[in-house]
Structure 1
């Protein structure tokens, strides 16, 4: 016998059916949303870095590593072989012109100078002796020449007498010829003595000049050593800051060894290095941008080292403002050598998205979505990339790394 279902049980059954239908609808809605999210993946805005396309300048540049060095730096060297006796000034001190920095031991140099003085006095004595000896030789030759001249005159008189006797019949032709022969021989001897006297005079003058040269060279050596002795107290002729000094007292140094460096820290320049693969693109006069702790300073390449050392080329850059307060000695800096400049072009900030090619896909942000679009690029530098096609000024693109989403046509941006 059938029994009537209670109203409470019927209500409970209806509620259960409605709950089942509602749960199914919710499951269907969740599945639809999940399926939709699979078709259109999303990304959080906090994970994105974006930048807007703008109009401005783009300078194509080569990147080099630089270090600031003083605009003028004097290297003070040892004038003599010696040892370091005393260091008078500490590194970092400001120097006045002529202020002593370091003293060298002068004992050996003073001994060498005394030896040179003794040799010079001996040379001067030799010069006096040579003058006397040469004068004696010349006097002997002059005396012989005078005697020969007297003999020539006597033979000339004898010849005239013989010729006179021959005329009056008191002499012979043989006597005349003998007188003529004697006179000729005497005249030849007189000529020989005259030439010998001239030759001796020139030889004496040459000997005197040679010894004079020796005396002069010795005097110059004395003067040079005396000057080096005065310079043995190492000092700077210009004001500046002592940036380095050899503080090893007692160390032996040779002539020409560096002892100290004095720099003018009121102005600076840049010494930079770059890979030798860019050597052909580097030219004197190229504009440069020197970045120091976020401050950009303009300048130009002043000189380029002709040698390549371990695969790098060294060059020096002169700053337009070498007195900028941000400049410090030995401060490292990024140096950008400008090779081409584009004015008033579309550009966007450089970032991980840029792979260095001329064309690549990027994600353009619009209405909460990031859509993929192929964009053409031109030159670039550390800060900006030139856009030659595919974007307009004011558009916003993703500049963070999007390699994981390159095959996705569109992303939903979740706040």
Structure 2
């Protein structure tokens, strides 16, 4: 038959039961904690970059690519149609005023020059011949005029005789009228001759002026061609460096073709280009910063080209220190055009995190051993700093490296 358990035995069974339940609870807690550890993402501190939020100015900029070019550059064009005969100076060589750079063959222009000289001499002979012909015609008309004047005088005397005879009864009225008619006809012919002579004199003057103009224009053309032929010995007009020269000996060039470029390397400017989508933000006189390696140079936008080429707008920046020692021709530089200025705002160093279009309304801040996502927004920015607003506070440590794989999470554990 069964016996009732003693109190000591019952107490031992109860302690054993409590111990089993405690172990089970501990195992369950450990399992839950371990599972949470497995499903909660983490990231190492060495894998992220952070920056501290602070007060300070933020200058919003527009980034463009640029190249250093000489501030003053001269393009020398071919004065005539010619063939390149000799290259005296090559690219990179320094030249002084008067130094020859190229020699052009002048044979074609010489033929044109000789032809113009011959035409001018022919026109000069033509001018003499015309003057002689017109003078001969004038002499004949003046001879006729002298004869006609004598005829008028004779007819005037005849009219007076007829009038006297009529008065003494020795003549008739018809004879007087006939004498008057003959005199008027002769006077009209005399007046016509005088007008013809005046017209011939004006014609002679006009023809001489026309030939004079032709000779003058030919003279100027010959002088200009002489000057251009002298310029066929292409020479530098000021001190500088040959940046480019057409060095293909034997090649033909037309009048007006650029054959040499000279640059004054004592001062420089920046030629920059930016997408036409930002064209409205460019203004003449606007401030710009030029970054050459680790050196920043200030300047202002001096000119903006009115045309768009291949989707880009070209503009030029005049530097305040246009002779700085870091400047070199054709050196690639970064150009930051100022579009807005925030003198005192919350800012943080710029980084890859802010380049994502999905990160405009939140930030990850360090909270102990976690990264916590908080609502925030960005404003003005440049390559150095970004303006931040929202729940962020001065002194907050903000992640500035890329977190593309964690954008959907509210918290991330730091290892």
TM-score, normalised by the number of residues in structure 2 = 0.88
C-alpha change, 1:154 and 1:136, in structure 2 (3 Å) is same
Partner Cα separation in structure 2 for residue 277 and residue 147 of structure 1? 91
Equivalent runs, 1:236-251 vs 2, <5 Å: 236-251=236-251
User: What secondary structure does 2:187 align onto?
Assistant: helix
**Structure-1 residue corresponding to 2:68:** 68
**Structure-2 residue corresponding to 1:159:** 159
* Structure 1 runs of 4+ with >4 Å offset: 23-33, 38-41, 356-359
Partner Cα separation in structure 2 for residue 357 and residue 379 of structure 1? 17
Partner Cα separation in structure 1 for residue 81 and residue 161 of structure 2? 82
**Structure-1 residue corresponding to 2:388:** 387
**Structure-2 residue corresponding to 1:308:** 308
**Structure-2 residue corresponding to 1:294:** 294
**Structure-2 residue corresponding to 1:261:** 261
Q: CA offset at residue 57 of structure 1? A: 2.2
Alpha-carbon displacement from aligned partner over 1:61-101 (angstroms, at most 9, x marks no partner): 22222222111111111111111111111211111011000
C-alpha change, 1:378 and 1:356, in structure 2 (3 Å) is farther
Partner Cα separation in structure 2 for residue 135 and residue 358 of structure 1? 99
Q: CA offset at residue 390 of structure 1? A: 2.1
Partner Cα separation in structure 2 for residue 258 and residue 329 of structure 1? 20
Q: CA offset at residue 31 of structure 1? A: 5.0
TM-score, normalised by the number of residues in structure 1 = 0.88
User: What secondary structure does 1:84 align onto?
Assistant: strand
Partner Cα separation in structure 2 for residue 169 and residue 97 of structure 1? 103
Partner Cα separation in structure 1 for residue 156 and residue 220 of structure 2? 57
**Structure-2 residue corresponding to 1:183:** 183
Alpha-carbon displacement from aligned partner over 1:187-238 (angstroms, at most 9, x marks no partner): 1001101111111111111111111111111111110110001100111211
Partner Cα separation in structure 1 for residue 72 and residue 358 of structure 2? 43
User: What secondary structure does 2:361 align onto?
Assistant: strand
Is 1:351–2:360 an aligned residue pair?
A: no
Q: Quick check: 2:82–2:105 contact (8 Å CA) kept in 1?
A: yes
Equivalent runs, 1:278-289 vs 2, <5 Å: 278-289=278-289
Partner Cα separation in structure 1 for residue 314 and residue 145 of structure 2? 77
Is 1:396–2:397 an aligned residue pair?
A: yes
C-alpha change, 1:84 and 1:359, in structure 2 (3 Å) is closer
Partner Cα separation in structure 2 for residue 24 and residue 89 of structure 1? 95
User: What secondary structure does 2:375 align onto?
Assistant: strand
Is 1:111–2:84 an aligned residue pair?
A: no
The worse-fitting range, judged by mean Cα deviation, of 301-310 and 198-207 is 301-310
Q: CA offset at residue 287 of structure 1? A: 1.8
Cα RMSD, aligned residues only:
2.3
User: What secondary structure does 2:150 align onto?
Assistant: helix
**Structure-1 residue corresponding to 2:366:** 365
The worse-fitting range, judged by mean Cα deviation, of 358-367 and 216-225 is 358-367
Q: Quick check: 2:353–2:359 contact (8 Å CA) kept in 1?
A: no
Which runs of 5 or more residues in structure 2 are unaligned?
Answer: 1-22
Q: Quick check: 2:65–2:333 contact (8 Å CA) kept in 1?
A: yes
C-alpha change, 1:356 and 1:301, in structure 2 (3 Å) is farther
Partner Cα separation in structure 2 for residue 252 and residue 168 of structure 1? 99
User: What secondary structure does 2:98 align onto?
Assistant: coil
**Structure-2 residue corresponding to 1:339:** 339
Which runs of 5 or more residues in structure 1 are unaligned?
Answer: 1-22
Count of aligned pairs between the two proteins = 392
User: What secondary structure does 2:58 align onto?
Assistant: strand
Q: Quick check: 1:268–1:323 contact (8 Å CA) kept in 2?
A: yes
Partner Cα separation in structure 2 for residue 143 and residue 393 of structure 1? 116
User: What secondary structure does 1:186 align onto?
Assistant: helix
Q: Quick check: 1:82–1:105 contact (8 Å CA) kept in 2?
A: yes
